Amino acid sequence: MTAATLSKMPRRASYVPSMDLVPLVLEGRVPAIARMISRAEAAYPEAANALAEIYKRAGRAHVVGITGVPGAGKSTLVSALIRALAAAGQKVGVIAVDPSSPFSGGAILGDRVRMSDAAAASGAYVRSMATRGNLGGLARSTLEAVDILDAAGYSPIIIETVGVGQDEVEVVSAAHTIVVLSAPGLGDDIQAIKAGILEIADIHAVSKSDRPEAAATVASLQGMMALGPGRTDTSWRPPILAVSSVSGNRVRDLLDAISAHWAHLQASGEMAVRRHGIARTRILGTARHLFSRKFDEGGSLDGHVEKVVGRSVDPATAARMLLGWEKES
């Protein structure tokens, strides 16, 4: 059942129109926040105006991306950050992006379960979102969820990605500060993804600092940073911190580094560059989504597919025909 079909169905008496949820979101009401994020995920047409209004009220939160290879301990680190931030009196929001179930399309790792103790103890808001087949480590509606939490007064807002490799670095255009987490003892695995790591990281963190391999991993990262160009859009030099999410060792230092990077963006004027990149990513991402939905649902793609399958037209020509840039023969 498509979102368009759902929007035409008779509404239950308990249904609250999305625009009526906006003031409740701004007040920080958790049920309203949950409903609005669900409607953003489902892409309900009825919610579009409400999300546009929320976007106008957002823009104050510090958005922090936590990424790294699967198994590095991202969720455990996020739980430790939640506790430390809450202890400092901050209202923390977390969007944990999971791979999708091939059957239901829903999230299958269940970060809300893994982080439930930390969230319950701190009043943090944690939401798991499925990628639904999106590449880049993020769900399509991730940034709409960030807007909702931002407008509701949460800051910082942490985005935990599925796991990152060289081709899955979309989080760099979704957050102000990028923390790349590496696990000790990866060895050649670090070499395999070093280009992606060096290009996107504002802060490097090495998990499980109590393990003897952690020092070697820190040294490897230091060596790669000495050889690699790192990020080219900033004068910030990424620090490298070995942390233990279980014992809490140097978690406070990591938070201080995150705060220092936020201050650097403000003082240097680089915040404008980050915000420009985020806005560009959102516009192009939405355009791709609308383009795909328009032709998938309209059926106009099918005829071109048959021509490409039959080799009477090449894919590039078919794409230009689909866009109306070239007349059909």
In a domain, 98, yes or no: yes
User: pTM of the prediction?
Assistant: 0.84
Whether 177 and 283 map to the same domain: the answer is no
Instruction: Give the model's pLDDT for residue 118.
Output: 61
Whether 76 and 130 map to the same domain: the answer is yes
Whether 125 and 150 map to the same domain: the answer is yes
**d(C-alpha 111, C-alpha 115), whole Å:** 6
Bridge-based pairing state of the strands 157-160 and 93-98: parallel
In a domain, 5, yes or no: no
In a domain, 207, yes or no: yes
Bridge-based pairing state of the strands 177-182 and 93-98: unpaired
In a domain, 32, yes or no: no
Which sign, positive or negative, has the C-alpha torsion 85, 91, 97, 101?
Answer: positive
3-state secondary structure 179-201: EEEECCCCCHHHHHHHHHHHHHC
Cα 52 from chain centroid (whole Å): 19
pLDDT, one tens digit per residue, over 63-118 is 999 988 777 788 889 989 999 998 899 999 999 886 544 334 444 444 445 566 66
How many CB atoms neighbour CB 111 within 10 A? 23
Instruction: Give the model's pLDDT for residue 10.
Output: 44
In a domain, 27, yes or no: no
Whether 265 and 294 map to the same domain: the answer is no
Instruction: Give the model's pLDDT for residue 12.
Output: 54
Range of the domain at 147: 56-269
Whether 240 and 315 map to the same domain: the answer is no
In a domain, 46, yes or no: no
What dihedral do alpha carbons 124, 125, 126, 127 form, nearest 10°? 180
In a domain, 259, yes or no: yes
Whether 315 and 197 map to the same domain: the answer is no
Residues of the chain with pLDDT under 50: 1-3, 5-6, 8-10, 100-112, 133-137, 166-168, 191-192
Sheet holding 63-68, edge to edge: 125-130, 93-98, 157-160, 63-68, 177-182, 203-206, 240-242
Of the candidates 269, 297, 315, which is a domain's last residue? 269
Q: Which two tokens stand for residue 48?
A: 């579009």
In a domain, 39, yes or no: no
* Helices 48-57 + 142-151 axis angle, to 10: 60
As for how many domains the chain has, the answer is 2
Whether 82 and 127 map to the same domain: the answer is yes
Q: Residue 301 is which amino acid?
A: L
Whether 242 and 295 map to the same domain: the answer is no
Of the candidates 235, 250, 269, which is a domain's last residue? 269
pLDDT, one tens digit per residue, over 223-253 is 878 776 667 778 899 999 999 888 878 999 9
We report the CATH number of the domain holding residue 146 as: 3.40.50.300
Whether 191 and 135 map to the same domain: the answer is yes
Burial 171-182 (b: 16+ CB within 10 A, else e): bbbbbbbbbbbb
Whether 159 and 260 map to the same domain: the answer is yes
Whether 110 and 145 map to the same domain: the answer is yes
**d(C-alpha 155, C-alpha 118), whole Å:** 16
Whether 245 and 291 map to the same domain: the answer is no
Report which DSSP code applies to 154.
-
Of the candidates 245, 269, 293, which is a domain's last residue? 269
Nearest residue to 207 via CA among 321, 319, 76:
76
Instruction: Give the model's pLDDT for residue 166.
Output: 41
Instruction: Give the model's pLDDT for residue 251.
Output: 93
Decide if 184 contacts 220 (C-beta within 8 A): no
